[in-house]
Amino acid sequence: MYELRFHRKVDKELADLPIEVRKKVKYEFFPSLSESSTIGKPLSGALSGVWKLSFRASNTDYRIAYEIDDSNKVVYIIMVGKREGFYERLKRRLS
């Protein structure tokens, strides 16, 4: 079991999502990440070391970006949001 930790801006990002998407993230995807941190896919290139979990809701693609610290059993949620422009925002957040 992994502990979930969150970037300080994740709460705001969740609040901006439609309620049904927010519930899906909080009650389905976050618990799944806590159980099995590798359910997503690792990113490459400039975002190497970051994982993504992709899902679709209401005809919109969403992403959850996170890092895994296996030695401390922590999943650090970096960003949650719509697919559009997601990776550019993620690069800015990590720099």
Give the DSSP per-residue string, the chain.
--EEEE-TTHHHHHHHS-HHHHHHIIIIIHHHHHH-GGGSEE--GGGTT-EEEEEEETTEEEEEEEEEETTTTEEEEEEEEESTTHHHHHHHHH-
Which pLDDT tens digit goes with each residue over 31-89? 999 999 899 999 999 999 999 999 999 899 999 999 999 999 999 999 999 999 999 99
**pTM, whole model, 2 decimals?**
0.93
Residue 37 has a pLDDT of 87
Say whether pLDDT at 7 is over 90: yes
Q: Position of tokens 């990113």? A: 43
Condensed to tens digits (0 to 9), the pLDDT of residues 8-29 reads 999 999 999 999 999 999 999 9
pLDDT of the residue at 11: 97
CATH code reported for the domain at 3-94: 3.30.2310.20
Residue 58 pLDDT: 87
